[in-house]
């Protein structure tokens, strides 16, 4: 396979409601789409970097520049390209995993579409549906939070994740438990907002029967989680801290986490995601798929991954309408707390050209 051209498309997607985390409030999702054209097929992917480097060090303009100036030239220079070869070709470039993931996924999508094989099958996924959880942002007041949670439970979501930060943790979690009872599956995500000295405070969450606490401490502070795990009973799940299979291995070996959130963008692609899945499976550590407010393009690919057998916890793969009134693809839907794994070739979903055109803010075509 040879690449004929790559199109980088910037799209601005208005969110149905602002989404607040411990690090930012999002009202629009700026997205970078990568379209790879080969003689046989075209492939699509979505870069999950956000407009500012607040979730992690990557951000959209930086990702776009790395793709154009440093990643694509390495792929154009290759004699025979395949999705599986991309990782090795891009390895000399340090970091920039979200950018690498988008490029690898677009190449893989083109290859699989040409072969007529679904990404789920290529990855070895066995499930046809994924248990769907929803991530609920920080709200101004507890009553507003309860209304939001009620709406998602009524819609059928199988698990609720509350974003927390210092000052918005014990009270909202207590209120949700009190209102909706012990039976709802509940977890929290701090996006690195706490410090080791907060261990005793976080231990107070233990009374609420949470499935897990996600990324309580700084990205770099793996050892802090080992200490924290001695003080809290709620299982620690890592997100930002795990950017490779080696990180996952190390976090598990040292006891820094009991659960891993897998986001393909964060770890450099679906193939590294599968390696993390395998490392965790071998160690008896359950995993689930994280989300980055993807459009249908990224969501479809995440569904393929989440069909692997060790994705035993509900994933952050909600329906399109959780974030977007109009998705870039046919909407992804959730029924009875489950979302179907796409069955078509490649990522199994196509962008709707008119919608992409309408929401596009910039496009560039890059050729070998
Ligand atoms: O796609 O539903 C989604 C987003 C889920 O909370 C979510 N993602 O840290 O896990 C996380 C966050 C990262 C993005 S927040 C702007
Ligand atoms: Mg997270």
pLDDT in tens, 98-145: 999 999 999 999 999 999 999 999 999 999 999 999 999 999 999 999
Question: Of the residues 29, 158, 191, 219, which should be mutated to test ligand 1's pocket, given the most ligand atoms within 8 Å of the CB?
Answer: 191
Instruction: Report which DSSP code applies to 219.
Output: T
CB count in 10 Å sphere of residue 143: 11
Question: Is residue 234 very low, low, confident or very high in pLDDT (cuts 50, 70, 90)?
Answer: very high
pLDDT at 61: 98
Across the range 187-204, mean pLDDT stands at: 98
Residue 216 neighbours by CB under 8 Å, 6+ apart: 190, 192, 193, 194, 198, 202, 225, 228, 236
Substitution site in 27, 238, 291 for ligand 1 pocket (most atoms within 8 Å of beta carbon): 291
Of all protein residues, the one whose alpha carbon is nearest to atom 14 of ligand 1 is: 292
What's the gap in Å between 16 CA and the centre of ligand 2? Answer: 20
The count of residues in the chain is 368
Q: Tell me what the mean pLDDT of segment 35-62 comes to.
A: 97
DSSP state of 166: T
Q: Report which ligand 1 atom has the smallest distance to the Cα of 163.
A: 6
Q: b/e string for 10-38 if b means 16 or more Cβ within 10 A? A: bbebebeeebbbbeeebeebbbbbbbbbb
Among protein residues, the one with the nearest Cα to ligand 1's atom 5 is: 291
Element (H, E) at 271: helix 270-283
Closest by Cα among 312, 310, 301, 290 to 341: 301
pTM of the model: 0.97
Average pLDDT over residues 58-77: 98
Q: What pLDDT does residue 199 have? A: 98
Q: Scan for tokens 């979690």, then name that residue.
A: 173
Q: How much is the pLDDT for 189? A: 98
pLDDT of residue 342: 98
Query: Is the pLDDT score of 244 beyond 90?
Result: yes
**Region 37-49 average pLDDT:** 97
CB count, 10 Å around CB of 183?
7
How large is the average pLDDT for residues 335-343? Answer: 98
Active site residue 100: no
C-alpha of residue 94 to centroid of ligand 1, in Å:
24
- Average pLDDT of the chain is 98
pLDDT score recorded for residue 290: 98
Sign of the dihedral defined by the CA atoms of residues 282, 111, 119, 266, in that order: positive
As a whole number of Å, the CA-based R_g of the chain is: 20
Whole-number Å distance, alpha carbon 124 to ligand 2 midpoint, is 25
What residues form DSSP beta bridges with 238?
Answer: 260
| β partners of residue 193 | none
Ligand 1 — pocket residues by CB below 6 A? 19, 21, 26, 55, 135, 189, 191, 239, 290-294, 316, 318
- Ligand having the closest approach to the CA of 242: 2
Residue whose C-alpha is closest to residue 73's, from 343, 368, 287, 279: 368
Q: Of all residues in the chain, what percent carry a pLDDT higher than 70?
A: 100
* Residues with Cβ within 8 Å of residue 162, at least 6 apart in sequence: 136, 145, 149, 172, 173, 176, 186, 187, 188, 189
Check if 263 is active-site: yes
DSSP category for residue 165: B
Among residues 246, 135, 189, which one has the least CA distance to residue 22?
189
CA of 25 to the centre of ligand 2 (A): 15
- What is the DSSP-derived secondary structure letter of residue 310? T
The per-residue pLDDT for 79 is: 86
pLDDT in tens, 159-172: 999 999 999 999 99
As given in the structure block, the two tokens for residue 356 are 């992409």
């980055």: which residue's tokens?
A: 292
pLDDT band at 214 (very low <50, low <70, confident <90, very high): very high
Ligand 1 atom with the shortest distance to the CA of 317: 2
Average pLDDT over residues 170-192: 98
Q: What residues are paired with 162 via a beta bridge?
A: 136, 188
């Amino acid at each position: 396979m040879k690449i004929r051209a790559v199109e980088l498309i910037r799209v601005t997607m208005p969110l149905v409601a602002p989404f607040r985390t411990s690090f930012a409030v999002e009202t629009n999702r700026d997205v970078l789409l990568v379209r790879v054209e080969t003689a046989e097929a075209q492939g699509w992917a979505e870069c999950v970097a956000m407009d500012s480097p607040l979730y992690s060090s990557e951000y959209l303009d930086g990702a776009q520049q790395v793709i154009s100036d440093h990643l694509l030239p390495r792929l154009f220079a290759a004699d025979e390209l395949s999705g599986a070869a991309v990782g090795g070709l891009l390895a000399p470039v340090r970091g920039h995993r979200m950018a690498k993931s988008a490029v690898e996924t677009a190449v893989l999508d083109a290859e699989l579409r040409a072969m007529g094989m679904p990404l789920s099958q290529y990855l070895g996924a066995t499930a046809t549906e994924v248990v769907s959880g929803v991530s609920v942002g920080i709200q101004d007041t507890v009553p507003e939070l309860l209304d939001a949670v009620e709406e998602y439970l009524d819609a059928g979501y199988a698990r609720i994740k509350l974003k927390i930060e210092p000052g918005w943790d014990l009270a909202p979690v207590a209120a949700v438990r009190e209102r909706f009872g012990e039976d709802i599956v509940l977890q929290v995500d701090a996006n690195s907002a706490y410090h080791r000295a907060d261990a005793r405070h976080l231990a107070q969450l233990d009374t609420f029967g949470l499935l897990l606490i996600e990324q309580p401490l700084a990205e770099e502070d793996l050892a802090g989680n080992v200490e924290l795990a001695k003080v809290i009973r709620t299982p620690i799940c890592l997100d930002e801290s795990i950017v490779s299979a080696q990180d996952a291995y190390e976090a598990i070996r040292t006891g820094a986490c009991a659960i891993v959130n897998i986001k393909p963008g964060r770890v450099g692609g679906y193939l590294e995601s599968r390696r993390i899945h395998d490392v965790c499976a071998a160690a008896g550590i359950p995993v689930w798929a994280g989300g980055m407010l993807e459009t249908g393009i990224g969501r479809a690919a995440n569904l393929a991954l989440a069909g692997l057998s060790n994705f035993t916890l509900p994933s952050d793969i909600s329906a399109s309408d959780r974030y977007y009134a109009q998705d870039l693809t046919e909407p992804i839907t959730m029924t009875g707390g489950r979302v179907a794994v796409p069955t078509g070739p490649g990522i199994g979903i196509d962008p709707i050209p008119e919608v992409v055109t309408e929401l596009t803010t910039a496009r560039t075509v890059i050729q070998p």
